[in-house]
Structure 1
Amino acid sequence: MNHYFFKDIPTLQEHWPEIRHLFIQREVPAKTCLLAEGDIATNIYFIDRGALRLWNNDEGRDITVQFFFENQLVASFESWYQKVPSSFSIESIEKTTVTSLSSDAFDQLVHQFPEINPYLMRLISERFVSYTNYFLSRIKDTPEKRYQELMINEPEILERVPQHYIASYLGITPVSLSRIKQRNKLT
């Protein structure tokens, strides 16, 4: 495991032989559900290779909330932390290798290595900022403006994610996304 998770926490590097059994690596094909909406999240996933999406089913309508790529951490944190049913599903977009850490293993790590707490706080803060920006964008920006922001700030999404998921993320239909893409090619 080549973990970026360890680069900021040298103690974990030093103790890797003792803790490696806590981390479970697996490869999953595209469209694999790692967490189903309504289930209680018991794992945090580190993406070694591939892409995942966090999404919600709103009365049959697929709403993608966030995309995750290599060297990112994903979980339904609300479910994981509060031990309540998840409002989201986590699904692979492409063939993906993840390393999972169970809630119990996480608790063991935090207890054994309290120096990881500032790192975890930073990760959670980054996630909170991302959600806040997404929420504000959905309120104040047009779909076209949101698409343009993706082009500038997150081109990897446009390169790697299927169009219907991007449309879902932007809050529009795939047909509307095609029109927006066409207009932006002309400008």
Structure 2
Amino acid sequence: MTTPSPINWPKYQHLYEEISVPAKTVLLEEGKTSRYAYYIVEGAVRLWFNNKGKDTTFQFFFEGEGVSSIESFRTGQPSMCTIETISAARLLKVSKENLDLIIDSEPGFRANLEGIIFHRLLRYTKMFIAQIRDTPQERYEALIRDQPHILQRVPLQYIASYLGITPVSLSRIRNKLQREK
């Protein structure tokens, strides 16, 4: 996922705020209404939800990507997820009203956003099917193959959660794959 372009972002500086936050900063809490979307200048962010008392990660975002609880941001309904920084982050924060002004002012921006949303939906669909079809080891191997940057930037506990397994199971899979090399 990339940033929509070619937007003349300095032209809209008065409509967004640049913020710096430490790791583990909650940008949006599950059950609250999303009032902001974020663009990641530096850092890593995850989306997760409370699954019967267990933290379940389902998406990671990095530099050059936008993040929000799209459903809540667009509809005003409570968010189904929490948005939290994994590392210290520098973000551009924009309200729905101001983002709508930018969208209305920039030809082609809406189409770019629709493309990003479609890409995100495609990722969710692949993840959903993999959770049903693939073994935990197959899901981990796909992560190594398709998104190795996640393994370099994200703590193992969040990767295990993302894969739908415990950290102990992830450790076993990693050890098994190391022995097979």
TM-score, normalised by the number of residues in structure 1: 0.91
1:184 maps to 2:172: no
In structure 1, which of residues 89, 97, 101 is the aligned counterpart of residue 94 of structure 2?
A: 101
The offset of 1:17, in angstroms, is 4.6
Q: Distance in 2 between matches of 1:153 and 1:167?
A: 16
The aligned counterpart of 2:83 is 90
Tell me which amino acid in the other structure corresponds to 2:148: P
Q: Distance in 2 between matches of 1:115 and 1:47?
A: 21
Q: Which runs of 5+ in 1 are unaligned?
A: none
Q: Which runs of 5+ in 2 are unaligned?
A: none
**Alignment of structure 1 residues 93-132 onto 2, 5 Å:** 93-132=86-125
The offset of 1:113, in angstroms, is 2.2
1:154 maps to 2:144: no
CA RMSD in angstroms comes to 1.3
**Alignment of structure 1 residues 1-187 onto 2, 5 Å:** 5=3, 8-9=5-6, 12-13=7-8, 16-187=9-180
Q: Distance in 2 between matches of 1:114 and 1:17?
A: 16
Tell me which amino acid in the other structure corresponds to 2:82: S
Q: Distance in 2 between matches of 1:52 and 1:17?
A: 24
Regions of 4+ moved over 4 Å: none
Q: Distance in 2 between matches of 1:41 and 1:74?
A: 11
Q: Distance in 2 between matches of 1:82 and 1:29?
A: 29
Count of aligned positions: 179
- Residue by residue over 1:8-47, the C-alpha shift from the partner in whole angstroms, topping out at 9 and shown as x without a partner, is 22xx32xx45411112111111100000000001111111
Tell me which amino acid in the other structure corresponds to 1:5: T
Q: Secondary structure at the match of 1:5?
A: coil
TM-score, normalised by the number of residues in structure 2: 0.94
Q: Secondary structure at the match of 2:34?
A: coil
Q: Distance in 1 between matches of 2:41 and 2:147?
A: 19
- Residue by residue over 1:52-108, the C-alpha shift from the partner in whole angstroms, topping out at 9 and shown as x without a partner, is 000000121110010111111111001111110000000000111111111010111
- Residue by residue over 1:115-147, the C-alpha shift from the partner in whole angstroms, topping out at 9 and shown as x without a partner, is 211111111111111111111111111110000
